[in-house]
Amino acid sequence: MLALLLALCIGLITEPLPTQSDTIYTVILEGGTIYDGTGKAPFVADVGLIGDRIAAIGDLKEARAALRLNVDGLAVAPGFIDIHSHAVRGGPETSGIFRQPLAENYIRQGVTTVFAGQDGSSPLPIGEFLARFELTPAAINLGLFVGHGSVRRAVMGNENRDPTPEELEQMKALVAQAMEEGAWGLSSGLKYVPGAYARTEEVIELARVAARYGGIYITHMRDEGLHVLESVKETIRIGREGGLPAQITHAKIIGPRMWGKSREMLRLVDEALQAGVDVSMDQYPYTASSTGISVLFPAWALEGSREDIVARLQDPEARARIKEAVIFNLREDRGGGDPSRVQLAFCRWDTTLNGKNLAQVLREQGRPVTVEEAAELVLEIQEQGGCTGIFHAMSEEDVERIMQHPRTMICSDGGIPDPGVGVPHPRNYGAFARVLARYVRERRILTPEMAIHKMTGLPAWRLNLKDRGVLRPGAYADVVVLDLNRVQDRATFTDPHRYAEGVVHVFVNGQAVLLDGKLTGARPGRALRKGRDG
């Protein structure tokens, strides 16, 4: 009997009959509190699904359904949309969405759609990657941005120079191809190489291509620390001159010297909006960032191949210059002024380092715990192959201030990790649940309806994503049912591989992927393409 109900739940019945009394719904969610994704006040109603769509919202007590679920006392919301995800890294073999297609870390937070290709890094060609996804889909929907860094690398390699006119045309052609294949816009990672080598004018030229297709520009800005305000101005300029919406992704303020500057950041955003520039932001709800330990290096030191980088580290003069820059970044930027604030998340070449901070490693090696010695350790780590790191250098006040801005939506900046591997940032498992638990229920800086809007309707609006991010008849049946009194992130910085709690049911395109807190094994996720889906 359960198998029959699940079969019906995954969409075998697709055609509604003329009247409600005759209609057989695939699923009816009965008596839940509806948060429709618009930010409006919640209301109690039933939700009826037929096939992959929401068929009705209202009083369905007399209607028939293959599966009727009593959700009295629970919140019913659109499936959450992660506008900044790393579910895709490189090709299929290295992407979590293929290695872990059930995407349990996302599903247990209520996330049903992710947008990857972030920070300037995306697969190319995008069309081939999406076609592969359609052959072996995941439990969640997937959309992609085209990465400026990937396009630049494909044409110019990892070179620190301006493109020739011919190279710029090749890059524009690659962006156009990606947009025609369904990319949602252009992403950049101007903090990372090779994006860091690009002048603003180069990015504007590529943004104009994305604009022709209705795309947006989403950016890991050139700097989020001492020069964050200049970077915000650059982002606004790219949006204005590129002729497209500009999104500051994982908006933050890095480094104790800059704490409080979120006020000025938001003022710049508001002034741009008043001037007619369409600017928005997304954010993950933590006071620590995560990326490769090489983020502490100066960009010039990362040019070329790994062999080129190692050669610089083995040259005494170059090594001294690099170390000086790393010392500065440990003191003033992501290092937060203390080696204990930099935690090693995953070191493939020595997994015994995973989870330890730089101060711990120095003590274990019998070395003095100083910023200078920590910088030397960072150089040694990079020589061996590098590590991903977690950098505790943000302030809670800035996080909350940015979160409350009406143009800020929620993201994870996480991916789909292999359970138990490394000690990754807890945002991979807990970002959306943490907003509802800490910032809604505990801190009360957001109402439930506003928080859910920032996870659903707002990112859908930003992308012009059709029929998702809202609960209304005719929209796709991406639906999450959760207990707002119980939802909780469990992942921590020392114990990150812990799933969020409090999500009861999740439907993706009308199919149950989580039912009564248990994965069904269904993989109904779809490839979402700009032009067809938005």
At 79-123, the pLDDT tens digits run 999 999 999 987 777 789 999 999 999 999 999 999 999 999 999
Tell me which of 92 and 267 has the higher pLDDT: 267
**At residue 444, what is the residue type?**
R
Per-residue pLDDT, 324: 97
Q: Are 409 and 455 in contact (CB under 8 A)?
A: yes
- pLDDT, tens digit (0-9, with 9 covering 90-100), for 504-520: 999 999 999 999 999 99
- pLDDT, tens digit (0-9, with 9 covering 90-100), for 281-294: 999 999 999 999 99
**Distance (Å, whole) CA 323 – CA 35:** 52
All domains in the chain, ordered by first residue: 80-287+394-466 (3.20.20.140), 291-391 (no CATH)
Task: Output b/e per residue, 84-116; b: 16+ Cβ within 10 A.
Answer: bbbbbbeeeeebbbbebbbbbbbbbbbbbbbbb
Q: What is the mean pLDDT of residues 133-148?
A: 97
Residue 1 has pLDDT above 70, yes or no: no
Phi, psi (deg, nearest 5) at residue 289: -100, 175
**At residue 352, what is the residue type?**
T
**Distance (Å, whole) CA 473 – CA 476:** 9
In sequence order, what are the residues at sequence separation of 6 or more whose Cβ sits closer than 8 angstroms to the Cβ of residue 84? 115, 118, 218, 249, 250, 282, 284, 411, 412, 413
Q: What is the mean pLDDT of residues 168-179?
A: 98
Q: How far is CA 409 from the centre of its chain?
A: 11
Per-residue pLDDT, 95: 86
Q: What is the bridge-based pairing of β-strands 408-410 and 503-508?
A: unpaired
Q: What is the pTM of this model?
A: 0.94
Residue 10 has pLDDT above 50, yes or no: no
Q: What is the bridge-based pairing of β-strands 279-283 and 408-410?
A: parallel
Specify the range with the lowest mean pLDDT, choosing from 5-9, 41-45, 240-244: 5-9
Q: What is the mean pLDDT of the chain?
A: 95
Q: Are 11 and 50 in contact (CB under 8 A)?
A: no
**Distance (Å, whole) CA 258 – CA 306:** 32
Q: Are 490 and 475 in contact (CB under 8 A)?
A: no
Q: What is the mean pLDDT of residues 265-291?
A: 98
Q: Are 217 and 185 in contact (CB under 8 A)?
A: yes
Which percentage of the chain shows pLDDT scores above 70? 96
Q: Are 130 and 122 in contact (CB under 8 A)?
A: no
Q: Which two tokens stand for residue 169?
A: 């045309």
In sequence order, what are the residues at sequence separation of 6 or more whose Cβ sits closer than 8 angstroms to the Cβ of residue 23? 16, 17, 48, 50, 55, 56, 63, 64
The DSSP 8-state label assigned to residue 75 in this structure reads E
In this prediction, residue 73 has a pLDDT band, given cuts at 50, 70 and 90, of very high
Per-residue pLDDT, 291: 96
Q: Which two tokens stand for residue 138?
A: 């995941």
CA dihedral sign of residues 195, 196, 197, 199: positive
In sequence order, what are the residues at sequence separation of 6 or more whose Cβ sits closer than 8 angstroms to the Cβ of residue 76? 29, 32, 33, 34, 35, 47, 471, 479, 480, 481
Q: Which residue has the tokens 């807190």?
A: 517
Burial of 442 (0-12, 13-18, 19+ CB in 10 A): exposed
- pLDDT, tens digit (0-9, with 9 covering 90-100), for 316-355: 999 999 999 999 999 999 999 999 999 999 999 999 999 9
DSSP string, 219-272: EE-S-SSTTHHHHHHHHHHHHHHHTS-EEETT----SGGGTTTHHHHHHHHHHH
Per-residue pLDDT, 17: 36
SS (H, E, C) 11-35: HHCCCCCCCCCCCEEEEEEEEEEEC
Q: Which SS3 state, helix, strand or coil, does residue 87 take?
A: coil
Rounded (10°) angle between helices 165-180 and 126-135: 30
In this prediction, residue 20 has a pLDDT band, given cuts at 50, 70 and 90, of low
CA dihedral (405, 410, 414, 416) in degrees, to 10, reads: 180
Per-residue pLDDT, 405: 98
Q: Which two tokens stand for residue 440?
A: 């809604």
Per-residue pLDDT, 84: 98
| Cα Rg of the chain, angstroms | 23
